[in-house]
Amino acid sequence: MSDHDKLYHRLFAHPGMVAQLLREFVSGPWLDDLDLDGMERLNAKFHAETSERREGDMIWRIPRRGGGDTYLVLLLEFQSTPDHWMALRALVYAGLLWQHLVAEKRLPLDGRLPPILPVVLYNGDRRWVAPLALDELVGLPEKSPLWRWQPHMRYHMVDEGAFGDQDLAGRDTLPALLFRLESFPDPEQVVGLADALVAWFVRHPGFEGLRSIFAEMLGSLMGPLAPGIAVPEELLEVRNMLATRAETWKQQWLQEGRQEGRQEGEAALLGRLLERRFGVLPGWARDRIATADTAALEEWGLRVLDAKSLDDVLG
């Protein structure tokens, strides 16, 4: 896993963080039956030829108030795009977990399999549009008699980017603050979020182990704006450093934004000129334009007038 992914893994290795995620983003009346304060992490090692559980996925055993346990399978999804086959993966993990519980003789007294709750936490750039239920992946007509023999699986999706900042600001939980940090805030917003984090930890004792992790996450936001800077380990010190440097970073951030906007404008103009001269552009040409810097785009733009082919322009 990348360093960023490892920070997520450490955050959601804390039972309080997981409990807040469930209460705030997986809420439902059935949740009242789960003793979230009594949950414990299950370090299960699954062995299958192609379906081993990934390091980032986590399993929690949650006692039910009426007796028995429910097992939370928390899948931390860090891909930039949705996984079309997530419902199938959830089914495979459920089967592997049940096999593990059978092999370890951890079934309840009645010998039946305990219920499983699959939850996917996704922080990719694109919104999640993959099927949430396995039956959407099975190629059968709606009224086919074969449906009675098909497996059923559904997972709950928590798509961080689907929540607006105003919505998240009204939720007094660490996961909500985490989602706001992950939305690429500008330097001024980062200082405000750091203040909100410091205040949250003051109001909620018992989460001290997570302070240093959030300090690292804030430090990682500073990296691109201040390469090589030594980031403090204490959250309040990171907050003060952010406040001291916020104006400098804001100017740098605005300058980079203007440069990026100019580059996008040059690319769009060049694309229109080329399509007017040579028709619809092939994929390779669009890719070259999309990844070129401003100097290359300006040079290609000058070649358009005399070029007889796309190769003459893009070389």
Q: What angle do CA 203, 204, 206 make, to 5 degrees?
A: 145
Model pLDDT, residue 172: 93
pLDDT exceeds cutoff 90 at 117: yes
Contact 210, 17 (CB under 8 A): yes
Region 290-312: what's the mean pLDDT? Answer: 81
Distance CA 125, CA 137 (A): 23
Model pLDDT, residue 51: 47
pTM for this one?
0.74
Contact 60, 75 (CB under 8 A): no
Q: Among 167, 168, 10, which residue's Cα sits nearest to residue 76?
A: 10
Model pLDDT, residue 236: 80
Token output for 34: 């789960």
Contact 262, 294 (CB under 8 A): yes
Express each pLDDT in 44-73 by its tens digit. Answer: 666 544 445 455 689 999 999 999 999 999
pLDDT exceeds cutoff 60 at 234: yes
Note the Cα 288 to chain centre separation in Å. 29
pLDDT exceeds cutoff 90 at 294: no
Model pLDDT, residue 130: 94
Distance CA 190, CA 185 (A): 6
Region 86-104: what's the mean pLDDT? Answer: 92
Model pLDDT, residue 47: 52
Contact 71, 117 (CB under 8 A): yes
Model pLDDT, residue 290: 82
Domain boundaries, the chain: 3-169, 217-314
Express each pLDDT in 247-256 by its tens digit. Answer: 666 555 555 5
Token output for 116: 């499983």
Contact 77, 123 (CB under 8 A): yes
310 burial (CB, 10 Å; 0-12 / 13-18 / 19+) is middle
β-partners of residue 156 are: 119
* Pairing label, strands 116-122, 40-41: unpaired
More reliable by pLDDT, 196 or 49:
196
Q: Among 54, 125, 119, which residue's Cα sits nearest to residue 90?
A: 119
Token output for 40: 């414990």
Distance CA 191, CA 57 (A): 31
